[in-house]
């Protein structure tokens, strides 16, 4: 199963994400978010634990990706390893390992301004999970 594929969207970037489990779906969505923005080398190592809640799994995915986007935009931190737990489909407990970006050794591509709700969907399928997300660039 491929983790994700990008598709054209007017002035934005769309991605379809796949995963055998909800955890894998969210990890693959993080990979797509970072791939759009660049190839990052880390200057240090950090651990972070976060908890997110939402009214739906769709909204939880947006909150997850928005949290990662905020950490990169505001703190110059990216994450590469994740341990995700879903006590229920609307709550996420994430332990993440990453670090500060070494911009001298990184390659920056696009800046994502926001993770949108436009055409957002998260669905369980016979093969696992699939999601559609649009990034505002």
Radius of gyration over alpha carbons of the chain, in Å? 14
Rounded Cα gap, residues 133 and 17, in angstroms = 8
Kind and range of the H or E run holding 94? strand 91-100
Q: What angle do CA 128, 133, 135 make, to 5 degrees?
A: 150
Number of domains in the chain: 1
What is the structure's pLDDT at 11?
A: 85
**Rounded mean pLDDT of 57-76?**
98
Looking at residues 67-86, what average pLDDT do you find? 98
**Which parts of the chain fold into alpha helices (H)?**
22-37, 57-75
Mean pLDDT in residue range 56-84: 98
Residue 127 is given by DSSP the state: T
Asked if 120 and 63 count as a contact pair (C-beta separation under 8 A), the reply is no
Average pLDDT over residues 112-117: 97
Residue 9 has pLDDT above 90, yes or no: no
The string of pLDDT tens digits covering residues 11-65 is 899 999 999 999 999 999 999 999 999 999 999 999 999 999 999 999 999 999 9
pLDDT at 3: 97
Whichever domain contains 21, its CATH number is: 3.55.10.10
CA distance 66 to 68: 5
Share of the chain above pLDDT 70, in %: 99
The SS3 assignment for 43 reads coil
Reported confidence tier of residue 135, pLDDT bands at 50, 70, 90:
very high
Tokens 């634990």 sit at which residue? 49
How large a percentage of the chain has pLDDT more than 90?
Answer: 95
Boundaries of domain holding 110: 4-136
- 3-class secondary structure, 73: helix
Mean pLDDT of the chain: 97
Q: Which two tokens stand for residue 30?
A: 């993080």
């Amino acid at each position: 199963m491929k983790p994700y594929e990008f598709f054209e969207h007017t002035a934005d970037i769309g991605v379809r994400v796949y995963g055998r489990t909800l955890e894998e779906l969210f990890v693959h969505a993080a990979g797509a978010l970072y791939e759009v923005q660049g190839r990052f080398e880390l200057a240090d190592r950090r651990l972070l634990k976060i908890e997110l809640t939402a009214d739906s799994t769709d909204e939880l995915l947006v909150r997850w990706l928005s949290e990662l986007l905020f950490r990169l935009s505001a703190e110059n931190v990216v994450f590469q390893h994740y341990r995700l737990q879903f006590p229920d489909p609307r709550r996420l407990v994430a332990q993440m390992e990453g670090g500060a970006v070494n911009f001298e050794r990184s390659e920056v591509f696009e800046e994502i301004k926001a993770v949108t709700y436009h055409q957002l969907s998260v669905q369980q399928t016979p093969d696992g999970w699939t999601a559609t997300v649009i990034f505002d660039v």
